[in-house]
Amino acid sequence: GAVVSQHPSWVICKSGTSVKIECRSLDFQATTMFWYRQFPKQSLMLMATSNEGSKATYEQGVEKDKFLINHASLTLSTLTVTSAHPEDSSFYICSAREGLNTDTQYFGPGTRLTVL
């Protein structure tokens, strides 16, 4: 099956700093990547959808200036949490979709962010 990796797997940072999370599709080209956030014992909440070479589409209530998404290539998307605060502490998961004619999304292993 298709493999999606994320880096780092966990990160601890101080309040006010920025954190970048990478999402890579290892054995396929991902025309679309998705970023989710998951709080403990809750389901995944879609934050934004990114297509290679174009601006990301953010879900309602997600601040685009705080969560910067770049999808510069067909195998890499990045999420930067700017000026992180403790309430941004969460589990961030990306997924990737291969091609346009498929509904299957493959998920990365997630990144646990803790903001002190």
Partner 1 sequence: QKEVEQDPGPLSVPEGAIVSLNCTYSNSAFQYFMWYRQYSRKGPELLMYTYSSGNKEDGRFTAQVDKSSKYISLFIRDSQPSDSATYLCATIKAAGNKLTFGGGTRVLVKP
Q: Among 1-9, 13-21, 68-76, 82-90, which window interacts with partner 1 (CB under 8 A)?
A: 1-9
Q: Is 43 exposed, middle or buried (0-12, 13-18, 19+ CB in 10 A)?
A: exposed
Q: Among 13-21, 61-69, 78-86, 107-115, which window interacts with partner 1 (CB under 8 A)?
A: 107-115
Place of tokens 């502490």: 89
Of the candidates 101, 102, 33, 41, the residue with the CA atom closest to the CA atom of residue 72 = 33
Smallest distance from partner 1 to CB 57, Å: 9
Q: Among 13-21, 40-48, 67-75, 78-86, which window interacts with partner 1 (CB under 8 A)?
A: 40-48
With CB under 8 A as the contact rule, the residue among 17, 18, 42, 83 that binds partner 1 is 42
> For residues 82 and 66, is the Cβ–Cβ distance under 8 A?
yes
Residue 81 gets which letter from DSSP? E
Q: Which helix (H) or strand (E) holds 16?
A: none
Does residue 114 interact with partner 1 by CB under 8 A?
no
Does residue 89 interact with partner 1 by CB under 8 A?
no
Q: Using DSSP, state whether 86 is helix, strand or coil.
A: helix
Does residue 66 interact with partner 1 by CB under 8 A?
no
- Return residues touching partner 1 (CB under 8 A): 1, 4, 6, 32, 34, 41-44, 46, 49, 91, 93, 95, 103-110, 112
